[in-house]
Amino acid sequence: MRWCSWPTRASPSSRSGTRSARNTRTDDSPSIPSHRRCAPCWTAHPQQRKGSCCQLNRAPLRHGRSFARRPTQRHAVRKEADVTDTENQASRRVIVTGGTRGIGRACAEHFARAGDRVLVCSRTASEAAAVAAELRRFGGTVEGVAADLADPEVGNKVVGRCVDLFGGIDALINNAGIFESTSLVDVTAEDWDSTMHTNLRGPALTSAAAARVMRTAGSGRIVNIASINGLAPEANFAAYNASKAGLISLTRTSAIELADAGIRVNCIAPGLIRTPMAEPWITGLSDDVVARWAPMRRFGLPEEIATVVDFLISDASAYMTGETLTVDGGTLARQPVL
């Protein structure tokens, strides 16, 4: 049996002995050290308090304390899940909302090329089916499903469909969103609700449904696509700014609540990306205007967001959760640090 190196309480007659003698455990020593035991053993294995220290803490002892992590069941399950994810990384089961155009389409194509099983979501079943058929030529298994994020049951419908098709879910990409320019004094209740339902409530309910399945499996990844407007709002986008700021906060809250279940939740805040939704705002802008907007002097491409999404659902980001990564060509680098 392996003992802690904390000294036992020596008798008065033995206190004059050498330091090494006081710190040495011998076969005829008492079965319980009278000073201290290593905290991990004592806490994790109270049934062994009257016996010797457990053999599970095999890390080198320093100053009498073990630096080994307590071997809990939660850690064991998570480690096993990580190994499984690595072995089956070529066949991840991924849901992409808003997956028929822009960033969502780029993500779905990226995963299809990697051989993943992808469920593409769109407001209309015909569009989802058409894009899924196009993406199958890249080699992955791609299916389409109709999903309106304004529907309160959208989460259960989408996640249930993924489980029926692929037997589970490994990653959820909350990408779908709408972008409207309305000032605070002009926004209507209908405009506000429409933006919030699509950009915030929909991702929240879909994440909740996915997390219930992931929790049973012991692992999962959720990536929310927000915007730099959620970090540095612009005028005349009141509802959009608020919805994206809420999505960033939802990311942090979800990460805290789901970490013990082995589920990581992260967020991406893109700058202006060349997508059909952003095209009306960036068409015709001069190079000087672009340079003032982004130090890299260009707008981003959907594929550049897809690669960051892939990083966040891979084991390369295994120690990241609750983070928001800005992918904006340096736009926010111009913002003052408060």
Q: Which long-range contacts (CB under 8 A, 24 or more apart) does 42-47 make?
A: 43/70, 44/70, 44/71, 44/72
Residue 323 is encoded by which pair of tokens?
């983070």
CA distance 75 to 275: 41
Active-site residue identified among 166, 179, 237, 240: 240
Q: How far apart are CA 192 and CA 269, in angstroms?
A: 21
Distance between CA atoms of 273 and 280, rounded to whole angstroms? 12
Angle between helix 302-313 and helix 102-113 axes, rounded to 10 deg: 60
Contact 302, 273 (CB under 8 A): yes
The Cα 278–Cα 181 span in angstroms is 12
d(CA 71, CA 19): 32
Please say if 240 is a catalytic residue: yes
230 CB-side CA count, 13 A: 23
* Mode of pairing for the β-strands spanning 65-66 and 61-62: antiparallel
CA–CA dist 14, 268 (Å, integer)? 64
Distances (CA, A) of 67 to 56, 57, 60, 75: 12, 8, 7, 16
Q: Which residues pair with 65 in a beta bridge?
A: 62
Residues designated as active site: 240
